């Protein structure tokens, strides 16, 4: 079994009643790849969430990750 790690930057803001977060993988010199892990890649992704009128949560999630299956 190979463990994965991800290094990404995330931004969040409130917009029209939604809490919106977005993220994408980055190269960060202070977090170089480690031989114990396979470095996955987070392509641009977004999560939007809000409360509905009947006090439930609505969630929209677009996830686009490459977990590097078969590598390690």
In tens, the pLDDT along 16-68 reads 999 999 999 999 999 999 999 999 999 999 999 999 999 999 999 999 999 88
Return all residues near 60 (Cβ < 8 A) that are at least 6 apart.
Answer: 46, 47, 48, 49
Output the DSSP codes for 8-67.
EEEEEEEETTEEEEEEEE---TTS---TTEEE-EE-SEEEEEEE-TTS-EEEEEE--EE-
pLDDT range class, residue 69, cuts 50, 70, 90? confident
Residue 22 structure tokens = 């977005």
Q: Could you tell me which residues come within 8 angstroms of residue 56 by beta carbon, excluding any fewer than 6 positions away?
A: none
> Can you give the pLDDT at residue 39?
94
| pTM (predicted TM-score) | 0.78
């Amino acid at each position: 079994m190979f463990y994965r790690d991800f290094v990404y930057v995330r931004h969040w803001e409130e917009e029209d009643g939604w809490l919106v977060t977005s993220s994408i993988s980055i190269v960060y010199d202070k977090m170089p790849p480690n031989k114990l892990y396979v470095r996955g890649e987070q392509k641009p992704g977004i999560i939007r969430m809000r409360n509905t009128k009947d006090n439930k949560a609505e969630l929209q999630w677009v996830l686009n990750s490459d977990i590097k299956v078969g590598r390690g």
